[in-house]
Amino acid sequence: MSQDLTAPTGQLPSPTRDMAPASAGRTLVAALLGFFLITLDASVVNVALPAIGDELNGGLSALQWVVDGYTLAFAALMLSTGALSDRIGAGRAYSGGVVVFAAASLACGAAPGLGVLIGARVLQGVAAAVVLPSSLALVRQAYPDAARRARAISLWAVGGSSAIALGPVVGGALTTAWSWRAIFFVNLPVAVLTLLLPGRGTERAVPRRVPLDLPGQLTAVLALAALTFAVIEGGGAGWAAAGVAAVSTAAFVVIESRQPHPVVPLGLFRNPVVTVSIAAGAALSVGFYGMFFVLGLFFQELRGQSALTAGLMFLPMTVLISSVNVVSGRITNRYGPRLPMIAGQLMMAAGLLLLLPVGTDTPAAALAAAMVPLGLGGALAVPPLTAATMGAVPADRAGLAAGVLNAGRQVAGGLSVALFGSLVADRSRFLTGMRESLLIAAALVSLTAIATALALRPRP
């Protein structure tokens, strides 16, 4: 599924004219590369997890944190990084984010143990949360003309779709040919190229002093981290963490209801279209990213396939995502968001149920083909649910609503890795846990499809 076109929280003042074409083009390519870089790191790791566990002597819970350390930091901090971009300027925020991302990637590749690797992954997620909104802000600065900006944003989005398609294959190839460490070292030349491209004149907008809701941000991070810990670790420590998550969530709601500039305005959820769209995006992420994690383990741990073969198994599912995103956009423009949202969610639910009978002796071609509806359903549904959210809020809230939507998707993906990982942790019942995960994901997507049909039904 493509990433949401998440705008910064505030609206950056734009110059009255586009940049010179060459300068604007370099800015667009740099922004696309940055988006590609951070999205690739969200998908490239899954097929390398068994190799990481073997070399660093880590169990499944530690490997879940390798994935979720990145995802949850990315999701939670994205609520505030748009405001940070406004405060210091998109160019500075973007460059700083890419530099920190490259440094964290180097630390990941050189990590002597799982503790260092997980810490470096968290730092990568922090940097990614800065890069995403600032990269889009740079595109908006470079193309103030609405028509040219729309085309530029479409090209920018290709960075995310391409990374999702290539991630498993790149991860498998590098892990098989060299080492799992290569999936992090490969970020370094891309980061250098990204920093060299914008050149002079990129930063044209004047930074704005946008308030940061630090209490809200801190309680959000604490709630998400504690909830994830509770699901992954379980036991007495897990129950204690669940209590911390509950208290932090309550504190977050109280703080946001009283803040003049909250990271998540609770009033957004009074609109049923916004609420259902965010819920649908979260359910789709559970189905896509949660099963991405489980299937990556299934291919290697139970079927005995190499990392490269495991990566290639995902290719039929991911290779058509970009083109289906485009088709979905056209359907949405013609018929509105309701039809493609419902169709996409039902397609993903059917794809999840289609995977229930698979086992260790299922032919590889049949298994790869059975995964296709899962990816296509998400690709069909995400653009219209983004459009529905944007169309349901005032223009001055559009960027903030998009940030909440994308953060919700990332959080749901991270929590699904935690939950599904706990279900398949016992290898003797891996297939049972995988089927339970498929049923949970299918039920969630089906429920949000019904909610979409009700909330977006035409008014008489």
* Residue 136 and residue 87 share a domain: yes
Tell me the per-residue pLDDT of 180-194, one tens digit each, with 9 for 90 and over: 999 999 999 989 988
**Whose CA is closest to 329, among 390, 399, 411?**
390
Domain count, the chain: 3
100 with 238, same domain?
A: no
Q: Are residues 353 and 321 in the same domain?
A: yes
Domain limits at 234?
214-260
pLDDT digits (tens, 9 = 90+) for 398-444: 556 767 787 888 888 888 888 898 899 888 899 999 999 999 999 99
pLDDT confidence tier of residue 10, bands split at 50, 70 and 90? very low
One domain for residues 175 and 280: no
Helix (H) or strand (E) holding 92, with range, is: helix 90-109
What pLDDT was estimated at residue 11? 39
Same domain, yes or no: 193 and 280: no
Cβ 213 vs Cβ 113: under 8 Å: no
Task: Verify that 291 and 255 share a domain, yes or no.
Answer: no
pLDDT tens-digit readout, 334-355: 888 889 999 999 999 999 999 9
Percent of the chain surpassing pLDDT 70 = 85
For residue 75, give the CATH number of its domain: 1.20.1250.20
Q: What's the pLDDT tens digit per position in 171-223?
A: 888 998 889 999 999 999 989 988 887 543 444 445 556 567 788 878 888 88
Top-confidence residue, 89 or 153 = 89
**224 and 297 both lie in a single domain:** no
Same domain as 228, residue 141: no
pLDDT at 295 over 80: yes
Q: In the prediction, which pLDDT does 397 show?
A: 61
| pLDDT of 2 higher than 50 | no
Same domain, 80 and 171: yes
Strand runs (DSSP E) across 124-264, as ranges? none
Whether residue 284 is found in the same domain as residue 310: yes
For 457: left if phi > 0, alpha if psi spans -120 to 50, otherwise beta; the answer is: beta
pLDDT at 203: 47
Are 419 and 340 in a shared domain? yes
pTM summary value: 0.78
Query: Contact, 379 vs 344, CB < 8 A?
Result: yes
Query: Residue 136's pLDDT is what?
Result: 73
| CA pseudo-torsion sign 213, 218, 221, 223 | negative
Picking from 222, 242, 260, the residue at the C-terminal end of a domain is: 260
Which band of pLDDT confidence, cut at 50, 70 and 90, is reported for residue 28? confident
Q: pLDDT band at residue 450, thresholds of 50, 70 and 90? A: very high
Q: Are residues 205 and 220 in the same domain?
A: no
Tens of pLDDT, residue by residue over 82-127, are 667 666 777 888 889 999 999 999 999 999 999 999 999 999 999 9
Give the residue-averaged pLDDT of 263-276.
84
